[in-house]
Structure formats: structure tokens, C-alpha cells
Amino acid sequence: MTGTPIPVIAIDGPTASGKGTVAHRVADRLGFHYLDSGALYRLTALVALRHETSLKDEHALAKLAAGLPCSFVGEHIYLGKEDVSQAIRREEVGNTASRIAVLPAVRHALVGLQLGFRKPPGLVADGRDMGTVIFPHAQLKVFLTASVAARAERRYKQLIEKGFAANMADLLQDLTERDARDANRSIAPLKPAEGAYLLDTSDMNADEAVSQVLNWYAAVRKRHDAGG
């Protein structure tokens, strides 16, 4: 196996597009490791909020990011020994994560941490720049998106199911603002990677999206095995 590249499936897309659910299920089906890169920014945001770190202090935020004592166990995310799976999904944390994600020093601080998730037998990584920056040579790149209305509805249902308060108008505005920040930032702007397959899930359920990604990966592996 020496010299054999560890396969990576990179799934990028905007907030609430469903990429996390799809990526997690694809990883489970293939027996691959899973990286929720957005969780790393949310973890950094959570720590920054708890420490009351100024969002204008890029150096301090980068230092927090570089020293994250984080781990992923199944669908649970830990900060040290604390399960923060629910805490990092709060809207305040998400908004803060979106703001610090535009900072070059923070993004640089998290690169090594993200690359470390690439282990045998393979990795499914979801985020905003998995295919463009972190894993540009991924065997399969997918840009998964959905309309703002569809994404707001999904986020609304998620929040309500988890017992959080939610307002549809606020969610629509929030997602629109996040999309603008992600697409217009100077470092690693949100966009489809070169060679990425585009998957619009506005009218598609998670099972259908997972099947499509698995079919694309099977085709990519077939071409690779054939020497194409």
C-alpha cells in the first residue's frame, strides 16, 4: 500500500445545504473517516465567545484555533472532555464562525488540523474550501447547494427539533448574509472547485443526494482502476 494515495471525497457548499448530512452518510457507507471542517470554525467561535475574545484580534483568534483540544466521536464533537455537539450549533456561534472564517490567520491555523484527518482507508471532508484549498487533489469533488428558501426551511426544522427558537425571516436574512461573506472573502472564497460535480438538493432528499455522490465516486474509482 506504500505510495498509494489515500482517497478523499471533498464536499463543499453553503450553510444549511445539507452537505454535512450527506458527507457523514457517504463516509459511513464507505467506511471512511469524516471531517466536518465547519465544526472547527464553530469550535473556535465557541471558545472565543466563552473567553470574550475580540473578533478584531486576529492573532488571538488564530492562537485559539491552533490550540483546539477537539475530537470527533461518531456524530459527537468534543472540546476536551466536553460534548459540545449542540452548543456549537447555536446561531450565535454560527454567525461568529462565519465572521472569523474570513480571517487569513485563523484559516491558516486550522489547515494542519484538517489535513491530519486524511487517514486510511479514506476521508470524506465537508466544508467551504475542501476541494479548492485543503484537498485540491481529492479523487472526487462535489459542490452541493440548494436555494436559500430550501436551506432556511431545513435550518428552521433542525433548530425547532433541537428545542431552539427560530424565526424564518431571520434565518433567510442570516443565510443571505453568510453566503455573501463566504463568496466575497479574499481568502478561500466559497466557489465550486475545478472539476467539481454540481449537486442542487433543493428538490432532493438526503438519501437521493447520498446515492448520487456514491455513484459519482464509483465512476471515479472505476476510471482510476482502469488507468484513466
Scanning the structure block, which residue is given the C-alpha cell 455537539? 85
CATH of the domain at 166: 3.40.50.300
pLDDT tens figures, 75-105: 789 999 999 999 998 889 988 998 998 899 9
**164 domain residue, yes or no:** yes
53 is in an annotated binding site: no
pLDDT tens figures, 15-59: 889 999 999 999 999 999 999 999 999 999 999 999 999 999 999
**151 domain residue, yes or no:** yes
Calculate Rg over the CA atoms of the chain. Answer: 17
Provide the number of structural domains found in the chain: 1
211 is in an annotated binding site: no
**228 domain residue, yes or no:** no
3-state secondary structure of 153: helix
pLDDT tens figures, 127-151: 989 999 999 999 999 999 999 999 9
The pLDDT value given to residue 141? 98
63 is in an annotated binding site: no
Instruction: Report the range of poorest mean pLDDT among 98-112, 125-139, 181-195.
Output: 181-195
For the entire predicted model, the pTM comes to 0.87
Q: With 80 as the cut, is the pLDDT of residue 117 above it?
A: yes
**3 domain residue, yes or no:** no
Which residue type, as a one-letter code, is found at position 35?
L
Are 65 and 109 in contact, with CB atoms under 8 Å apart? yes
Residue 5 carries which DSSP code? P
Is residue 199 exposed (0-12), middle (13-18) or buried (19+ Cβ within 10 Å)? buried
Q: Which domain range does residue 160 map to?
A: 8-221
The pLDDT value given to residue 228? 59
157 is in an annotated binding site: no
How many other CB atoms sit within 10 Å of the CB of residue 72? 16
Tell me the C-alpha distance between 113 and 134, whole Å: 10
**227 domain residue, yes or no:** no
162 is in an annotated binding site: no
How many other CB atoms sit within 10 Å of the CB of residue 185? 18
Please choose, from the candidates 76, 80, 193, 82, the residue with its C-alpha nearest in 3D space to the C-alpha of residue 134: 193
15 is in an annotated binding site: yes
pLDDT tens figures, 200-228: 999 999 999 999 999 999 999 999 888 75
Supply φ then ψ for residue 84, to 5 degrees. -110, 20
Scanning the structure block, which residue is given the C-alpha cell 482502476? 225
**48 domain residue, yes or no:** yes
The pLDDT value given to residue 133? 93
16 is in an annotated binding site: yes
For residue 187, give Cα distances in angstroms to 103, 104, 114, 116, 184. 8, 6, 16, 21, 9
14 is in an annotated binding site: yes
Are 14 and 201 in contact, with CB atoms under 8 Å apart? no
178 band by pLDDT with thresholds 50, 70 and 90: confident
20 is in an annotated binding site: yes
Supply φ then ψ for residue 165, to 5 degrees. -75, 145
Tell me the C-alpha distance between 136 and 75, whole Å: 26
The pLDDT value given to residue 1? 39
Scanning the structure block, which residue is given the C-alpha cell 460534548? 83
**207 domain residue, yes or no:** yes
The pLDDT value given to residue 15? 85
**29 domain residue, yes or no:** yes
